[in-house]
Amino acid sequence: MATKSKHAQPQRGASQSGVKGSKKKAPRTYVRFALAQRVEHVLMLLSFTTLGLTGLPQKYAAHPSAVAFVNFLGGIENLRAIHHTAATVMMLVTIYHIIVVGYKIFVERRRMTMLPVLQDARDALVAFLYNLGFKKSRPQMGRYTFEEKAEYWAFVWGTVVMGFTGFLMWNPITTAKFLPGEFIPAAKAAHGGEALLAVLAIIVWHMYGVHLKHFNKAMWTGRMTEDEMLHDHPLELADIKAGAAERRADASALRKRQRIYLPVASILTVVMLADVYGFTTAEDTALTTIPPQPQAIQVFVPQTPTPIPTPLPGPTLAPSTGVPTWDGIIGALFAGKCITCHGATASGGLNLTSYATAIQGGASGPWFIAGDSANSLLVTKFTSGAHPYATLLEDELALIQAWIDAGALEK
């Protein structure tokens, strides 16, 4: 998380320290980071760590450790409040960093030594071959190594991605007004994936390179010894000793550029702070946990079980004014109830499309016996419930029985 700073300057009088005789001279040191940069680093470190600790339990909410951590903080709303506060701190520090970097580049005319160049790719290759034993010496690097540049720009990229996706999730209603709703779950996936990648990068890469392989105290003390400079930044050390380090700009030119930059930076700062305010207060998030309801809400009302399929619509039966006949009503009744199966396809050999085919019966024999409804297969099938598909209402079955008992007349 190193940031651009003034070129290292030798500590005045460092080489003169010590007492003649038994005491050794104190090692010469060089300024690496100013106090403001170290404070900025600590704020970024604390906000990033807090975001990781409160963000991953939300990504893996079902894991027992996540549940225990959420309970330890007093519930998911407390965890989200802490997460949002840390995100706000990171946004504010990012604004400060942008303004300071702009001042160094435009007003002080600092070299943009944090920008990646082709030499960084060459240094990475040499370092790779050196670690494998194919090179005898490490690459010679300047103010920032290729590892430091990669970490810095990865952090910049991660901040942009996390800020954009965080806004979409923090303000889903506002998001849905301008973007398709699919952007919100997509933002959740990207936010969680980038967070996991960032945490792993810090643990695996940053912790090993800065704390385990060699504890680099420069971000805490602000200084590096000459041996450390020779090991990590030999080209910068050579520039310092050769007097080629950056010098302060002319005072009048500096004031002229300040008069231009400071008003622009002030306006830009106000705009960015307004954006942060809108980011955090645009809406009450739709993710707020709903408190327990005083009464249970019935969300499902079971329907009354239907033991048999709903009958197909048949002809409306009018009160009979005489003896029922096939042409009068029975044929229409069969057409509405039975023709789907016992039509031209003649399921079971029974065709009820006409009176002539109906009296022929089917594979089980005659379908009805004229004058004897009690022994007619048609009636016994329906009264016993043996017919698996169609159903007849009581008045419909009574009409058929009356038709059969009357001689099963066609007309």
DSSP string of 228-242? HHHHH-HHHHHHHHH
**Per-residue pLDDT for 307 more than 60?**
no
Q: pLDDT > 90: what percent of the chain?
A: 48
- The answer to whether 210 touches 21, Cβ cutoff 8 Å, is no
Which two structure tokens, joined as six digits, stand for 365?
A: 């024999």
Residue 339 pLDDT exceeds 90: no
Segment 147-172, tens digit of pLDDT: 999 999 999 999 999 999 999 998 88
- The pLDDT of residue 285: 56
Per the prediction, the chain carries an average pLDDT of: 83
CATH class for domain 14-281?
mainly alpha
CA gap 271, 231 in Å, rounded: 43
pLDDT over threshold 90, residue 88: yes
What is the C-alpha end-to-end distance of the chain, expressed in Å? Answer: 100
Q: Report strand pairing: 223-225 vs 29-31.
A: antiparallel
As a whole number, mean pLDDT of residues 96-112 equals 93
Of 321, 292, 312, which is closest to residue 390 (Cα–Cα)?
Answer: 312
Sort 383 into a burial class: Cβ within 10 Å, 0-12 / 13-18 / 19+.
middle
What's the rounded mean pLDDT across residues 365-371?
80
Residue 121 has pLDDT above 70, yes or no: yes
Q: Look at the chain and count its residues.
A: 411
Q: What is the dihedral of CA 207, 212, 214, 218, to 10 degrees?
A: 40
Q: Residues 224-236: what's their mean pLDDT?
A: 92
Packing angle between helix 146-170 and helix 118-132, nearest 10 degrees?
Answer: 110
**Which of the residue ranges 101-115, 227-241, 281-295, 389-403 would you say has the lowest mean pLDDT?**
281-295
**What secondary structure does DSSP assign to 144-200, as a single string?**
S-HHHHHHHHHHHHHHHHHHHHHHHHHSHHHHHHHS-TTHHHHHHHHHHHHHHHHHH
User: Tokens standing for 16?
Assistant: 């003169």
Residue 20, pLDDT above cutoff 80: no
Nearest Cα residue to 366 out of 396, 374, 358: 358
Report the distance separating Cα 170 and Cα 184, nearest Å.
10
Indicate whether 182 pLDDT > 80. Answer: yes
Average pLDDT over residues 209-219: 88
Give the three-class secondary structure for 306: coil
Q: How far apart are CA 158 and CA 209, in angstroms?
A: 20
Q: What was the pLDDT predicted at 289?
A: 55
Given a contact cutoff of 8 angstroms between Cβ atoms, the answer to whether 56 and 193 are in contact is no
Report the pLDDT value the prediction gives residue 124, as an integer from 0 to 100: 95
> Are 17 and 9 contacting, i.e. CB atoms less than 8 angstroms apart?
no
As a whole number of angstroms, the distance between CA 135 and CA 139 comes to 9
pLDDT for residue 294: 62
308-321: pLDDT as tens digits: 555 555 444 444 45
**pTM to 2 decimal places:** 0.63
| Model confidence band, residue 274 (pLDDT cutoffs 50, 70, 90) | very high
| Lowest mean pLDDT segment, chosen from 7-11, 32-36, 86-90, 231-235 | 7-11
Asked if pLDDT for residue 237 goes beyond 50, the answer is: yes
User: What CA–CA distance (Å, rounded) separates 274 from 106?
Assistant: 24
Q: What is the pLDDT of residue 18?
A: 44
Q: What are the structural domain ranges in the chain?
A: 14-281, 326-405
Task: State mean pLDDT over 377-402.
Answer: 77
